[in-house]
Structure 1
């Protein structure tokens, strides 16, 4: 498996823990404030991004969906309303995030449709050809080994099944990029420190976005791993991108 620059980006460079362990610990620390900070820092636009990403699955009409790096279950909950599948399984390595997500699922009465489990993208505990669709929203940057996680997703997809990835990217236009860089370097870490006890979380966000193999680099990775019908769509002047691939 190839090692990419973003694979080596960790929340705490002085820690002896692996990236996976550090990411789990980081999200456990910020879980209680995660949804609030998402809405606040993105001015709510992240909801529109998720809705747009799930729109790429409407034609497929998936019955069984896996949501990798499900976090607090936002995509799983939205997918249950938009796509009406029989079952959505969300997996995440952070018990703290899952606890928040399960409370949301229960409060909405969706326990029969949505199950949130502790699970690792690189060792997905489901058989080959299990899911009609797999979603990953703002999670592939956190994979310890990007290719291994994407290969596991391909394994559990049914033939004809579809992967939809929603991930941050770098704006293409110079003026937008300048304001974006200031926001990510100053505003986001500042607000993260104000509302979260984990001081590294939102600095890690900026660095991991910068080093992530976005755009054509990411679609090339999907192609090399065996995905077909690959698409890439930039949103909000390139701040975010949707990637799709089929088995």
Structure 2
């Protein structure tokens, strides 16, 4: 199932004008239904497209988790520029997330899950780091032909992702941001 990993040398694509129009960060963050006292993990944080605006509104630390230390370095530079000091940077894959059990009550994973070799293990790990009744917001590319996103064969259909989440102990709700992107709100049960 795992696709090829995103190349950090292409990080500018993650903050392009086209991407901002297709995936408005404020709209996605609203879907997380955050309060200032939530503890949040951005899994596959990359260069901070979602992490920075989330951290701006939070009292508690935001955990930026990414397998690529280079991406986290870019995120750290942006955070320093914007005088944001409540981000904890965690180099980790998603099959063995380097966070404590029950640490966060909200987690975001955006456009990364298709790169994970063992989805069941990653979903189990996400559930492990969530507090009871914690919420996951998962964004992924729908299995349709588009000019953006990973190649078609790497995309995971929303129906299949929903099934995997249910099998791993989540209650889910599936919506679409647009025809190319689905959003799954999942609560650990």
Taking structure 2 as the reference length, the TM-score comes to: 0.88
Within 5 Å, which residues of 2 pair with 1:82-231? 83-111=57-85, 113-171=86-144, 180=146, 183-184=147-148, 205-207=149-151, 209-228=152-171, 230-231=172-173
Runs of 4+ with deviation above 6 angstroms: none
- Relative to its length, the structure with more strand (as a share) is 2
- CA displacement at 1:160 relative to structure 2: 1.3
Gaps of 5+ in 1: 1-5, 11-22, 172-176, 185-204
- Aligned-CA RMSD value: 2.1
| Distance in structure 2 (CA, Å) of the matches to 1:239 and 1:156 | 29
In the alignment, the residues of structure 2 paired with residue 60 and residue 220 of structure 1 have an alpha-carbon distance, to the nearest angstrom, of 29
Cα distance in 2 for residues equivalent to 1:214 and 1:114: 32
1:167 deviates by 1.4
Other-structure match for 2:32: 57
Which segments of 5 or more consecutive residues in structure 2 lack a partner in the other structure? none
Q: What is the Cα deviation at residue 43 of structure 1?
A: 5.1
Question: How far apart are 1:214 and its partner, in Å?
Answer: 1.9
Match of 2:11 in 1: 34
Distance, in Å, in 1 between the alignment partners of 2:71 and 2:33 is 27
**Aligned-partner Cα distance in 2 for 1:152–1:242:** 20
Provide, for residues 158-215 of structure 1, a one-character-per-residue CA deviation record: whole Å limited to 9, x for no partner: 01110001111145xxxxx5xx3xx34xxxxxxxxxxxxxxxxxxxx532x4333321
Query: Contact 2:35–2:58 (CA<8 Å) still a contact in 1?
Result: no
Contact 1:27 1:97 in 2 (8 A): no
In structure 2, C-alpha distance between the alignment counterparts of 1:62 and 1:231, rounded to whole Å: 24
Shift, 1:130, TM fit: 1.1
Give the CA deviation at 1:84: 2.4
Task: For residue 62 of structure 1, report the CA deviation from its aligned partner.
Answer: 5.3
Deviation at 1:128, TM superposition (A): 1.6
Check whether the contact 1:38–1:46 (CA below 8 A) recurs between aligned residues: no
Cα 1:211–1:62, aligned 2, differ >3 Å: closer, same or farther?
A: farther
Q: What secondary structure does 1:55 align onto?
A: helix
Report the CA distance between 1:108 and its aligned residue.
0.8
Equivalent pair of 2:140/2:183 in contact (CA under 8 Å): yes
Deviation at 1:116, TM superposition (A): 1.7
TM-score using structure 1 length: 0.69
Larger radius of gyration: 1
Contact 2:141–2:156, Cα closer than 8 Å, also in 1: no
Distance 1:74 1:95 in 2: 16
Aligned to 2:185: 244
Q: Which has the higher helix share?
A: 1
